[in-house]
Amino acid sequence: MAEFGEDLTKEFRRVPRVTALKSGIPTLARLASLWEQGFRRWNPKSVESDRPAAAMAVCLAIANPKGGVGKSLTTLMLADGLALAYGARVLVFDADPQAGITQALLGIVAQDDLDQRQIGLGPLLRKWSQGQEIDLASHCVPAGDLAELRNRQAGRIDLIPSNHQLLGEIADIEHAARHIRRRDRLDILLAGALRSAFRNVLPNYDIVLIDCPAGPGPLGLAVLRLAGHILTPTSLEANSYSTLVGFLQFILDDDLDLASQVKVHPLITQYHASNTLQRQMLDHIQQGYYGLNAIGRPISYATVLQGAASHPGAGSFRTAREKYGNSLADVLGLAHAVAQRISSGG
């Protein structure tokens, strides 16, 4: 175990300081204002009257090329937490063909209904690959199962869903798109099309959460280009750390020019406080030993969180306490930490 810890320490000392990344995206003025006014407690309330008429939403990508680190669960917790604690208007963009966050926010029956109605990322990408423009507004659907948000006044969550069919279709879609657009990189073209489409919907929201696909394919690279901040969930395991190191190096070195556009915020997930090594590593990270700019509060592993991602079914609602139990503090703590990071530009 000691050797394992020393290996991680050596590995992190080779990582460039992520705090050097700069953001070219405006901060979320509304969340900053609410934070400064002292909304540090869970106090959901309607704030429709003081919303800016056309505020520019911040785009935050939740990304890690490694699976099983709680990426979609983190997206769910963050969407619920921001809507509850700040009354935020949240748009979740499920860019992952696994459609994990879509299922968590809508349930299986509603997801199947949208698939039949040709609503979601799959139909959007198919039309784009055929030369048509992307229309996001017609693919935004109400989502979530929290009773506190049922009237959609004290915060709301909308979703651009993904579709399981994409798993088998994405290669054909990419091939068709390349056939029409031969000269340019596909991820650059797709990012440009999505950015133009988002301009029509961003004034309706305070924050956009992008649940990114695993791997460096054109879709994953394209949605990273949209983000001003990247939240990278990672567990305190050797292979997870190695993947995180590689991902950070990729962001800094790749020709995407992401380093000039984004700030990266690693988030420790699936944390076991009873694990001595994990406690030690978390302590090192919180003290800034590795220059990771990580969010200080980890998301502890809890069975109730796994159950929170199981939607109760179309038309069913549950309170935040029923959904998250004792882990509700983690949900609200994550929302506060991310809001503070964004509002401070840190």
User: Residue 317's pLDDT is what?
Assistant: 94
3-state secondary structure of 335: helix
User: Residue 255's pLDDT is what?
Assistant: 62
Q: Between 262 and 1, whose confidence is greater?
A: 262
How is residue 23 annotated by DSSP?
A: -
Q: Which helix (H) or strand (E) holds 291?
A: none
User: Residue 291's pLDDT is what?
Assistant: 67
**Are the beta carbons of 294 and 285 closer than 8 angstroms?**
yes
CA atoms within 13 A on the CB side of 113: 8
Dump pLDDT digits (tens) for 103-125: 999 998 888 888 889 999 989 99
DSSP bridge partners of 300? 271
DSSP string covering 13-38:
HTS--GGG----S---HHHHHHHHTT
Q: Between 167 and 340, whose confidence is greater?
A: 340
Range 81-92 average pLDDT: 95
Q: What domains are defined for the chain?
A: 27-41+52-227+303-344 (3.40.50)
User: Residue 56's pLDDT is what?
Assistant: 65
Evaluate if pTM is beyond 0.75.
Answer: yes
DSSP string covering 232-247:
EEE-SSHHHHHHHHHH
CA angle 46, 49, 50 (to 5 degrees): 100
Range 327-342 average pLDDT: 92
**Single-letter residue type at 280:** Q
Exposed/middle/buried for residue 215 (C-beta within 10 Å: 0-12, 13-18, 19+): exposed
3-state secondary structure of 127: helix
Q: Which helix (H) or strand (E) holds 257?
A: none
Dump pLDDT digits (tens) for 174-202: 777 777 665 678 888 889 999 999 999 99
- Take residue 276 and report the two structure tokens written for it: 């001595």
**Are the beta carbons of 69 and 233 closer than 8 angstroms?**
yes
CA distance 211 to 123: 18
